[in-house]
Every structure is written in C-alpha cells, then in structure tokens.
Amino acid sequence: MFQLAGPTGSGKTRLLSVLADVSNPAGMELRQILLPLLSATSTSLLPQGIRRPVFSRAVRSLLTVPLVYAGSSLTEAEAKVRALLNRFSFGYLLNRDYFTLSGGERQFVGLFSTLMWDVDAYLLDDPIAMLDQKRAAETVAVLNEYSQGEERGSFVLATSNIESHAGLQFDETVHVGYCPDVGTCARQLESLLARESCALRGETGVDLDSLTVAPFGRRLVSDQTLHLGPGRLFLLTGNNGEGKTCLLHTLGGLRSPTAGRVRLRMGDVESAPAAGETALYFPQEPAGLLGFGSVREELGAGASPLWWTRILEFFYDWQLLDPAAHGTEGSFGEVRFRSVLAMIGGAARSKKTRILLFDEPDVSLDDLRAGSLAALLGWLVKGGFWTCVTTHRPQLYKACCGPCTKVTRLSLADKELRQCDL
C-alpha cells in the first residue's frame, strides 16, 4: 500500500489520474514507469469528492452493475455486495436512493464501487475524507486487510490530511508539493484578523421552538425547544447519515420543519431565516459556485472594502490562493477553498446576512487552509454572525478559531439536539 501525501493543490490527483490514464494520454510514459512498481496492469480509480455521474438512482444497481458487467450472475453480485456492505456496517444502504444519501454515504458508495473491480491497482483519491471517525477507522482496517491479502492488488491512497490515514500501514509514502510554515501563517493571520473588523451587526441567536425534523420519514429531532446563543461557533458533529445536513438545512430555512419553527433573533427582533438572504448555506459539493473569471475577479478584490482586500492579499501572499488562476481551475481542494472564501466575502459584506451555514467546508483541505478557514469563521462569529459548521474535525476548529470565540459542539442523540462546550 502506497500513500501520496501533500497539501492542497500539490498535484496528487493529477498523478493518480495519470496513473489511471483517465485524463492524460501524454502520461503513458509515466504509467510505464510506475505501474510495474505497483505490479499493476489494470487500475480502478476513485475520484475525489462526491460529484460523479451515476447511471442509476438505486444504490443496489450502482454497486452490482460492475460485477454483472464483469460476468457475475445477479444473485452472486448481490450477495457479494451485501456481504461487503454489512462488513462496513453500511448494509442499510442497499435499498436507498442515491440522491437521498448523505455526503459520507455517497463517498462510501464511490469507494465501494471502486473496490468492486478486480484489478491490480486501486487508486483512491482522498477516500475517507467525508467519513465519520468510526466508519473511517473501519474502512482503514478493511483496506489494511485487503492490502495484505494476496488476492487483492496494490493500493495507492492520496490525501491532504495525513492524520486521517494514521491507522494505515504504508509500504512507501510519497510526499508531493510543499506547504508554507503553518505556525507562522496562523500567527500572522490571527494578528491580521485582530486588527480588522467586519461591520459589526449586533448579536444574532437562533431559537428552536418545539422543533420536529423528520426527513424521508425518519425523525431526527422531536419537539425540541432550544436557544442557540450568539458569540459561539457551533460545530454539528455526528456519524454519516445521522441527518446533519438535513438539520443544517432546517436551521437555515432551506427545508421546512415537520413541526415547530426556527426563529432568528436579533435583540428583540424575531424573524424566520430566509435561504439565500438572511441565511447562506455552503453546500457539501460546491460545484458551480464560481463562474468564469479569475480568482481575483471572482472574489471581488476590485470593489471590496479594505479589510477584505487585506485578507485576500494575505492569502495571495501565502500562496493559499492564486489570484490569476481561473475560478474553476485547479485541484478539488483549491476550488473548494475559493468557493468558501467567495461565500464568506459576500456574507461579510452583505447587510442582510445573519446566519452562515457550512456543510463540511474543511474536506480535502490541508491543515494550513483548514486552519485559516477556522480562524476566519471565528472572526465572523466575533463580528456577529451566527455560524454553524458540520465537520468531522472539531479539534481543528477548537485550536484555530481564535481565543475570543467559544466553540460549542452540537450532536444528535435520541431525537434530541444536544450542545456541549469544547
């Protein structure tokens, strides 16, 4: 088992796609050099992220088709899929509609359909980035077992978050790219943010009033009344498929609650959160958030207030953003980071926006970018935004969001939303 480690934008995905010969026919020479190292002549590639073309809405079909295509009978294919899914405690996925799955579940389906192929080398691009800690550990254990078994081929795993692969035993690690000094960057960003201030907009809180949320017939929260106060960064944590995204949608007014209501409270004024106006939502798969301009143009440096220009210049200086790059070009993590900043910049300038909701913004970001993002979110909370983030890396936010911002963890348990300070 090989590991490709490196920061966001260091070329890991490019290297994998060259190995898989999907995007770069000119990489044939490289394939000829590398594939014998892996003793591989056939490869199966798991692309990064969860946005991929699917040929069926049914998870069962997505997983069994490769086996059937390869010649297995329907019964054999289904038995194999069922056995493997049960092993990962994902057995319930078989009868689900792909578009109702959570981000982590979709990533798992992708990983699973890659492993279904009987090939010499499995090229997995950040395969457990969106999985919860328990599932990630289980997946790591199974991958370890597969890599040691003789019947399976070699594995090449690419990641920007080396900690997430901590449990795996690698034969060799290839580091690509370089990352500037994380400590110095964090200190400089902290001092920059301490000097700057976005237009303070008073304290904003969110009240849940006898709230019941039951998407797809499953009750997540039942008749709950709760005050989620201002001045805190809320982290919504939990296992894959527990309903974090659905709850986030409800908090932001993107999905109507089954019963009860969500109220946005600014002093004595109460209102319902309006999606796209008072509440902005950063989706799990932020495709299409940036248009066709350069990063500098997309992120609005031209007509921006001085504080936002300074923040952007800081990111340009530290090469976390390339101002001349096309908005949608670059690696998965780079585009994701730009998209988050585009939303934050817009929100901080908007007079209407009060609530910021981020659905796993730190996925596929290296520590430097994820830490900078956490610091920026802490700063926004200080500026009066009510901010909630779903994440599988709560400690990162605790460490990086600044000394003045309290971090509260929200978790779903027994049809109840519970909060505790980190």
Sign of CA dihedral 134, 135, 137, 138: positive
Distance separating alpha carbons of residues 137 and 277, to the nearest angstrom:
39
The partner residues of 226 in beta bridges, in order of sequence, read: 208
Among 247, 242, 265, CA closest to 257: 247
Q: Quick one: 120 or 231, whose CB is closer to another protein? A: 120
Distance separating alpha carbons of residues 48 and 13, to the nearest angstrom:
8
Distance separating alpha carbons of residues 20 and 125, to the nearest angstrom:
11
Q: Quick one: 64 or 372, whose CB is closer to another protein? A: 64
Tell how far CA 30 is from the center of its chain.
30
Task: Provide the minimum distance between the beta carbon of 31 and another protein in the complex, in angstroms, as a whole number.
Answer: 7
Residue 27 token pair: 């990489």
Task: Provide the minimum distance between the beta carbon of 252 and another protein in the complex, in angstroms, as a whole number.
Answer: 8
DSSP 8-state class, residue 357: E
Task: Provide the minimum distance between the beta carbon of 133 and another protein in the complex, in angstroms, as a whole number.
Answer: 25
Q: Quick one: 229 or 384, whose CB is closer to another protein? A: 384
Task: Provide the minimum distance between the beta carbon of 202 and another protein in the complex, in angstroms, as a whole number.
Answer: 20
Q: Quick one: 343 or 381, whose CB is closer to another protein? A: 343
**First vs last C-alpha separation in the chain:** 36
Q: Quick one: 228 or 312, whose CB is closer to another protein? A: 312
Q: Give me the DSSP letters along 134-165.
A: HHHHHHHHHHHHHHHSTTS-EEEEEES-GGGG
Beta-carbon count within 10 A of 370 CB: 24
Distance separating alpha carbons of residues 30 and 17, to the nearest angstrom:
11
Q: Quick one: 127 or 153, whose CB is closer to another protein? A: 153
Task: Provide the minimum distance between the beta carbon of 319 and another protein in the complex, in angstroms, as a whole number.
Answer: 5
Task: Provide the minimum distance between the beta carbon of 15 and another protein in the complex, in angstroms, as a whole number.
Answer: 6
By residue count, the chain amounts to 422
Q: Quick one: 34 or 422, whose CB is closer to another protein? A: 34
Task: Provide the minimum distance between the beta carbon of 371 and another protein in the complex, in angstroms, as a whole number.
Answer: 15
Task: Provide the minimum distance between the beta carbon of 322 and another protein in the complex, in angstroms, as a whole number.
Answer: 6
Report phi then psi at 292, rounded to 5. Answer: -105, 0
Q: Quick one: 238 or 241, whose CB is closer to another protein? A: 241
Residue with tokens 């066709």: 292
Among 226, 233, 231, 224, CA closest to 204: 231
Q: Quick one: 180 or 418, whose CB is closer to another protein? A: 180
Task: Provide the minimum distance between the beta carbon of 415 and another protein in the complex, in angstroms, as a whole number.
Answer: 18
From residue 101, give the alpha-carbon distance in Å to each of 108, 268, 300, 362.
10, 39, 34, 20
Among 313, 370, 304, 308, CA closest to 337: 370
From residue 96, give the alpha-carbon distance in Å to each of 100, 121, 128.
7, 29, 21
Report phi then psi at 367, rounded to 5. Answer: -60, -35
Q: Quick one: 93 or 233, whose CB is closer to another protein? A: 93
Task: Provide the minimum distance between the beta carbon of 180 and another protein in the complex, in angstroms, as a whole number.
Answer: 4
SS3 state at 43? strand
